[in-house]
Structure formats: structure tokens, C-alpha cells
Amino acid sequence: MSALQQLAATVGLSTRWIDWQGVHREVRDDTLQAILHALGYRADDTAACERELARLAAEHAAAVLPPMLVVSVGAPAVVGPIADPAARAYRLTLEDGTVLNGVAEAGDDGLCRIALFAPIGYHRLAINGQHVQLAVVPARAFTVQDLAGARRRWGCTAQLYALRSEGDGGIGTFAALGAHAKTLGERGADALAVSPVHALFAADVERFSPYSPSSRLFVNALHVDLADVFGADAMAAALAAEGAAALAAELESLELVDWPRAASLRLKLARRLLAGFDQLSDELRAECAAFVEAGGAALRDHARFEALHAHFLQQSPSLWRWTDWPGEYRDPRSAAVDAFAADYADEVAFHLRLQWLADRGLQQAQAAAKAGGMAIGLISDLAVGADGGGSHGWSRPQDFLQGLSVGAPPDALNALGQGWGLTAYSPRALIDAAYAPFLELLRAQLRHAGGLRIDHVIGLGRLWLIPDGAGPREGAYLQYPIDALFGLIALESWRQRAVIIGEDMGTVPDGFRQRMSPAGILGMRVLWFERDWGLFVDPSRWPADVVAMTTTHDLPTVAGWWTGRDIDWRAQLALYGEGQDEAWDRRSRAEDRDKLWAAFVHAGVASGAQPPVDQPAAVVDAACAFVAATPSPLALVPLEDLFGVIEQPNVPGTIDEHPNWRRRLATTLDADAVMARISAISARRPRAITSGG
């Protein structure tokens, strides 16, 4: 093994990987060098690699404790080798202020341990002249069973922008989210998992993918229902003043969200209405002030970024990324940024108040879900990363990997591989910061939710990282401190009484799913992939430690799968890669239709002759009932399937070629077919406790 490969292995960077077909692949040297450089290591030649290896060995020998130790409750805390017995005395200050004193015990392996009896929480440990945080974490996360015992729950998933409500101006609002959640709750649902509501780019309304945010700490203000705070009369007056009543009506009637026009209109209306902020009640203004105070430097930085981003974009499109701004504006703590914020105080205040409105709307949506009887309520969605040119990257560059983007190697769903254009936390930075960035992120996502879906949860163990300018195949896996991250998720989930779902699809490392279940993280199982020897698995045989789903936003809807609409799109968009063939795909789909209908009949959720390809309604009915019949503690049916929609929200591997993240729902929860599907689901997952229920 070369020095370069040794260095890569030492810091958790893979030098080889196994593709989805089981073929062993070697990572190129230039890829290893680029990723190591982004991690802060010099790897230009053999001598540089050897110097880094020597430095790392010296750091290990020094046995310096990391800023935070994460220890499972009941397990001992390993505090390293301590030769001097007198230095083994420790002082443990618990979160509630209680002080415990003791002596670490030396083991036969030379390591010293503290037998912990501390409660779960964040404590302070002083030993051997070092002061570290000690996170004592529960063995697993809070679960649906902790909430409901053996009772099986159900809910839906929703793309927030797709929800319709009167006067929404063409983009779904938090008010619509709350209304849908309340209605579903009244009809027996206990959860509504929503697409990410992360903050996007107010100055660039062309960028609207919910999975490519500017910041995952803040909220997409385009979903604000302005009438909720300012009133319907003020909203109507603002529309009239802008001469935009007809435009708003047109946008509401469209089948696809016209993001540029709809977002621009919402921001114009927000500016006009917030210009009258001082006329709001004392209570509302005090609420906003308290929100801004609590948001602190992070919120202030986000608002300043939004103002700066707009300022520089007006000068030139080439200044879209903050890394291309004049040097003095790249540092959020610089005097130049302070001066800009003072000169543009009204603009900064506008974005602070927008965030208040967005946070308020999300809070009210969760309250509406609970009022409807939902036990869980909203389940938020955490994107795998953020756009490196956004607010979060500008305000906290030290936390992120620079010069790399997250993606996925080629797999069965995308033979070309994927580059998502997102940056991710540096594992080294997380450890050095006592995991503060990760905890901040978790708390932001659980602030107004009863659950959290973690997109690409595999990234808590390893991420496929691609150097800037390289193709998706030219990446490598980087290991993350999964035990610590799982432990902190468990602790925060118990504190918030929030369930955790991990999106574990795609190429999953051996043993990863076996680690998720004991950690209390529900995996995801989708109808299309639950097969045994090519046959669809009976619902009684589905795992009991997962969320059961008909489909996801990246996969065909039930109606789309049955009609072959997804194959049409793959052919039209030239997404067939090496070894894949459209004709074979269509023949295989015809066989799979027979198998799926046979599985439905065998499970007792369908009967009679198989429906024609162009008549998927009965198939959708059966699929909803089929998934509801599984032993999973939580079944989730996308609204697209509840409504029988053919088109899927997103086609991975595309940007503008397919109308991703734009499709609006055309029907309502009151439609007869929708009501019948809800009844079929509820019958198999009754909210009331019954024998076997």
C-alpha cells in the first residue's frame, strides 16, 4: 500500500469500492489527493503523505481527548491511557449542576474508564488536566412504539409546494399544510411527512429544489401565508396595489408551479405588507423581536447573506457564489459586512421578519396537525447537504468540506451516477466542534415537528464525495463518526419525543441496516423493492422495524408504475445506461404487473381480473391497502398515490429536462376515491385500540 493509500485509510477515506453489480473498483490517486486536500491534509507526493502520517501518529500517541465524548447510557467512558494514578481523579458536572467525583479505573489494555451512572444528557468532565463535554445518550432513539405501544400508525407524505388552497398565489403554504394535516388527522392519520422546508435563495427564484437549500437551519419563506398575519383585507389591498390580482389567479390555476413568477409575486407582496410592520399589534411585534433575539448570530448571518446575495447578483450573475464576492465580504465577521448591514438595515430586517413569518407558519401547521388528532404530526425532512454557495456555507465555511460535492456512484436507479452539487459537514470539523453544528441542525429540524426523515441516512456512516469538476464515477467514500452521530440523534429524539426515519435506499453498506434498527431509526421499505425470488413479498412478511411505503418522490407513483409512465420518461430523457434497455424494461414491467396483481389478490386487498394498463385506479386502491396491512409501526402513503396521480414529483439525474418539484395536486381530500382509500388504510390500522390492531 502506498503512502497516499495509507493516509487515505487512516483518515477514513476509501481506496476502493464495490459497485451495485458487485464489481470491485479502485479509486484514482488524483481523486484521493483532491479529497485529502479538502479534508486539510497535504498529499501532493509521497513525502507529504509520510509527514501527515507521522503527525497523525503523534496526535494519537498524545491521547488527547476530543472536545466531546459520546457514551451510551450504562456503558463506561473511555478516557484514554493515563499513566499517573493521581491524574485519574475526575470531576463530572451533570447538566442539572450536580457534581460527581471519582477515579477512573485502569484496564488490562492500558486504557482508563469511568463507570458511568449519569443520566442521559450533556455533562462536563474534567480529568487529567482536560475538560471535555460528555454526552450520555440513550441506547436508541424515541420510536413509534414509545408513542403508541403496539398500535400501528399511518400517515401521508406531501410535497409542500403541491398543496392547493384558495389565494395561495401558485405555491403551497404552511397554512395549506396545516389544513391538510388537520383533515388527515381527523380521518385517522397520525403523521404527515413533508418535503424539506429549508431556506432557499430569495435573490434567485430560479433555484427551487427543496433538496438543494441555501441553509438547513432556516425555513423557506416562499411558503408563508401572508394573510395569516396581515389579514385577508390587507392581502387583497396589496394585490391590488401591485396590480397582480389577475396574475395570482392565473398562477393558482396552473398544473405546474411557475416558480419564478409565483415566488417573485410572493416576495413583492411580503415587502409591501412588511413595510407596515410597525402597524402590527404589540403582541406580534414582540413575538418577532423574541424570535430574532433567540435566533442570534446564525439568524443574523442568514439575513445578511440574503441581502448581500441580492446586492451582488444585481451587479453580475458571475457573483452568484459568495466565494466570488470581493474578499472583504466573504467573511461574515468582517467590518465590511457590518458596514453593509448598517447601510442596508431595512433589507436585513426584511429577511429577519420573513424568517419569523415562516417559522410561525410552520409552528401553526404542527399545531393544526395535533389539533386534528395526529399523534406524531409533521415529520420534517433533512436534506443530505446544502449548496456550498449558500447562506450556511458563507456563515460557517469552517464546518464544511470545500471543493467537494456529495453524490452517489452508479446504481440500479441511475446507471450514470449522481452529483448533487451539495456540500457536507467535514467529519473532522464536527469532532473538533464537539458536534455543535450537527446538534444545531437536529434541533432546527425538530423545532416544529414530531419526527424527522434523514435523507440518505447512509451519509451518517459514509458519503460519496466528488471533487469539483469530476464526474460522479470519480469519487470515493469518506467515513463519518456514525456511533457518535447515532447517539446524538437518539438523545435529541428523546428530548423532543420525535420519531426518526432514515432513507436507506440505493447502495447500502453491508451491516448498515442492522445498525439502524437497534438505534431506533426506522428504515424505509418501498413496494417496488420488497421482493423474494422476483415475487412481491406478502405484507405479513415485511419487516417490523421500518416505515412501509407505496413509493417515494424519486420513484414512480403507483399509477405511473402501472401505466409505465416512468419508462416513458427514462426513454425520453436518455437515462438508460450501459447494460440497460428500454425494450427489456417494458417486457419486465409487463411481467411485474402480473406478479403485483397476483400479490394483491393473495393478500386479500384485490380480487377479480387484472386491470388494463391504462386503468390504474383499482391498482392504486390495492397498493394503499397492501402497504397498510404490513406489520410496520408506521405506514406512509404519498398524497400522489392517495390521489391516484400518474406523474412523479422528481426524476433523479435530471434538472430542467423533467418538471421536477413543480407538479401541483389537482384533487382534494374530499374526493370519493381518496376517501375510499383512506377508509381502506384506516380499517387495517385503526386508531382505536382493538385486538390485533
Position 579 scores a pLDDT of 66
Integer-rounded Cα Rg, in Å, for the chain is: 26
8 A C-beta contact, residue 81 and residue 112:
yes
Quote the CA–CA distance of 257 and 265 in Å, as a whole number: 13
Helix, strand, or coil (residue 463):
strand
Quote the CA–CA distance of 23 and 28 in Å, as a whole number: 16
559 burial via Cβ count (<10 Å: 0-12, 13-18, 19+): buried
Q: From 254, 466, 280, select the one nearest 356 (Cα to Cα).
A: 280
650 occurs within a structural domain = yes
Report the largest interatomic distance among the alpha carbons of the chain, rounded to a whole angstrom.
Answer: 80
The C-alpha cell at 352 is 429577519
What is the residue-wise DSSP string for 276-322? TGGGS-HHHHHHHHHHHHHHHHHHHHHHHHHHHHHHHHHH-GGG-SG
The owner of cell 409575486 is 265
Residue 377: left (phi > 0), alpha (psi -120 to 50), or beta?
left
Quote the CA–CA distance of 646 and 91 in Å, as a whole number: 62
594 occurs within a structural domain = yes
Quote the CA–CA distance of 474 and 28 in Å, as a whole number: 7
Last residue of a domain, one of 11, 32, 62: 62
Quote the CA–CA distance of 171 and 252 in Å, as a whole number: 8
Residues 24 and 92 in one domain: no
170 occurs within a structural domain = no
Residues 44 and 102 in one domain: no
Residues 51 and 129 in one domain: no
Quote the CA–CA distance of 680 and 684 in Å, as a whole number: 7
- What's the Cα-to-Cα distance from 215 to each of 261, 447, 522, 541, rounded to whole Å? 23, 15, 25, 40
8 A C-beta contact, residue 222 and residue 187:
no
Which contiguous run of DSSP H or E holds residue 519? none
597 occurs within a structural domain = yes
Give the residues across from 192 on adjacent strands. Answer: 156, 378
209 occurs within a structural domain = no
Quote the CA–CA distance of 137 and 80 in Å, as a whole number: 20
Residues 108 and 56 in one domain: no
Considering its fold, how many domains does the chain have in total?
3
Q: From 282, 279, 278, select the one nearest 349 (Cα to Cα).
A: 278
The one-character DSSP state at 613 is T
Position 504 scores a pLDDT of 94
Position 691 scores a pLDDT of 32
Phi, psi of 684 (to 5 degrees): -95, -10
259 occurs within a structural domain = no
Quote the CA–CA distance of 482 and 458 in Å, as a whole number: 9
CA dihedral 17, 427, 440, 502 (to 10 degrees): 20
Domain residues for the domain of 124 are 74-137
Residues 50 and 131 in one domain: no
Residues 535 and 646 in one domain: yes
CA dihedral 379, 380, 381, 382 (to 10 degrees): -130
Q: From 361, 141, 169, 365, select the one nearest 258 (Cα to Cα).
A: 169
pLDDT along the chain (693 residues), means of 10: 93 88 87 93 92 90 90 94 92 96 92 91 96 97 91 96 96 97 97 97 96 97 95 96 96 97 98 95 97 98 98 97 97 98 98 98 98 97 96 96 89 75 94 97 98 96 93 92 97 97 88 94 97 96 96 97 96 79 93 98 97 98 98 97 97 89 93 95 76 33
Residues 55 and 83 in one domain: no
**Predicted TM-score (pTM) of this structure:** 0.95
Q: From 332, 202, 175, select the one nearest 274 (Cα to Cα).
A: 202
Quote the CA–CA distance of 148 and 374 in Å, as a whole number: 12
Identity of residue 649? P
Residues 627 and 560 in one domain: yes
Phi, psi of 458 (to 5 degrees): -55, -25
Residues 526 and 587 in one domain: yes
391 occurs within a structural domain = no
Quote the CA–CA distance of 202 and 188 in Å, as a whole number: 37
Last residue of a domain, one of 119, 137, 155: 137
CA dihedral 389, 394, 400, 404 (to 10 degrees): 20
8 A C-beta contact, residue 234 and residue 273:
yes
Last residue of a domain, one of 103, 137, 171: 137
Residues 54 and 82 in one domain: no
The owner of cell 434567485 is 204
Residues 21 and 100 in one domain: no
8 A C-beta contact, residue 430 and residue 252:
no
Phi, psi of 506 (to 5 degrees): 90, -150
The owner of cell 409565483 is 262
446 occurs within a structural domain = no
Residues 87 and 19 in one domain: no
CATH number at residue 120: 2.60.40.10
